[in-house]
Each structure stands twice: as structure tokens, then as C-alpha cells.
Amino acid sequence: MEFIKHLPNKKLVLLAIAGLIIVVGLIWICTLGGEYSKSEQVAVVEDTLVAYPGRTFSYKDKFRDTQAKQVRAAKAIGLKSPPQNRQEAAKMRGQLSLIKSNDNYVVDSLTHSIPYLVPAAARELERIGEGFAEILQRNGLPHYRFYVTSVLRTKDDVKHLQKSGNVNATSQSCHCYGTTFDLAYFRFDKVSRTREYMHQDNLKLVLGQVLLNEQRAGRIYVKYEYKQACFHITVRE
């Protein structure tokens, strides 16, 4: 670097060299990162079907807790005054728990509800997620997540659903009390990068078994909604 001493503007030259070194370094890091990402994205061929060995049962027969029964529970332990709109709901956040995607379930892109539940319902959702994951792990099966498709609705949300033709959207909706959530039974997110995979009907059985256990324990009411392809769940305690 001796020649730099004889240059008229040594500071500018040094800054230029430093800048060049930084640019080269960034290019090298980006290139390395790109190669790493490519290696991570190598597709795993899922060619081995595995299954939960639990006994099948009739969802329609087991999960038929009525709307009236669920509304009574919702009014007893949920929000005392259902929000009319999103603005009112925002003011009630101190009484609610935010629901986020985690290792056991995915909160879907909600269009007619917002991701909040009363604390008791949020805890129950966590319990269901843990139970679902535990059955898969205990049976040596790949890890999947289920989808939460509806949570807290305002009265305005219910009106919009009714206009869209949703036959299950009633004016006395349990969802307005923050005690109720819907779980899809034909959509699951595979987390494990393995060759083993499960059929959605079998994953539905796993989720159904967890809900049946919770229902028998007196913690939830469940309604099997075949038109909306979901389990409609209201917490009881």
C-alpha cells in the first residue's frame, strides 16, 4: 500500500478500496446463500403411505352438538357484548388472546373473522394442537399441522357471510363471543420432510380422535359441518 502515500487524495482512494471489498464480500455471501437455498429446496419424493391405526367412527353421529347448546355455552363464558364491527372488536382485545400459527396448527388467511379468542378457548385450541401432534409422534408418523379457518366474528362479519350464501352463518353465531373456532378436516400442512406421507382422510381421523377425547372430557362441544368441511367447536369451560 506504499504507493497510496504518493497519491493526491489518499482518503478517497482508501474509501474506494474499502467499498470494493464490501461489495465483493456481499456478492460472495449472496452467492453462497443462493447455493445453500437450492440445496435446502431439493424435493423429497413422498412415496411411502403410512397411516394412524385408530378405529374409524361416524363424525356425523358423534359430533352433533346443537347450535342452541353451543350458543348457551358461548354466552355463559364468552364476551358479554359481541362486537358489532372490527372497530368495536379492537377495543375488546384486552379480554382476548391473539391466535397465531405455531408448530401444531396454521391460522388460515381469515376473511370473515379475526384471530382472537377468549383465554379459555385459546387454551383449548392449544390443547387440541398438542394432542394432534402427540398422536402423530406416538405412532411414528410424519408431523402435520391442521388449519384454523374461522375464529372471532363481528356481527357485521356474520351479515357478510349470510349474504355470501354461507348457510351455517346464523345471527346468533357462537363465533361472536370469542369461544368458538372452526378446524378444517380436508386440509393439512406437512411439516416433516420425509418420504412417508398420510392421506387426508386418515389425518381427519387423528384430529377427530382428539376432538372426541376433548368432547368426552366435557371441555368442548363439536358440530360436524360437512358443507363447510370443518369441525365447529365451542369451548365449555
User: Which tens digits make up the pLDDT trace of 79-120?
Assistant: 999 999 999 999 999 999 999 999 999 999 999 999 999 999
The 3 state secondary structure assigned to 35-90 is: HHHHHHCCCCCCCEECCCCCCCCCHHHHCECCHHHHHHHHHHHCCCCCCCCHHHHH
Give the residue numbers spanning the domain of 31. 2-40
Number of domains, the chain: 2
What's 64's domain CATH number? 3.30.1380
Tell me the C-alpha distance between 214 and 227, whole Å.
23
β-strand partners of 189: 145
116 and 10 in one domain?
no
107 and 16 in one domain?
no
30 and 61 in one domain?
no
Q: How confident is the model at residue 53 (pLDDT cuts 50, 70, 90)?
A: very high
Tell me the C-alpha distance between 210 and 134, whole Å.
10
32 and 78 in one domain?
no
Residue range 221-236, pLDDT digits in tens: 999 999 999 999 999 9
Element (H, E) at 21: helix 10-40
102 and 29 in one domain?
no
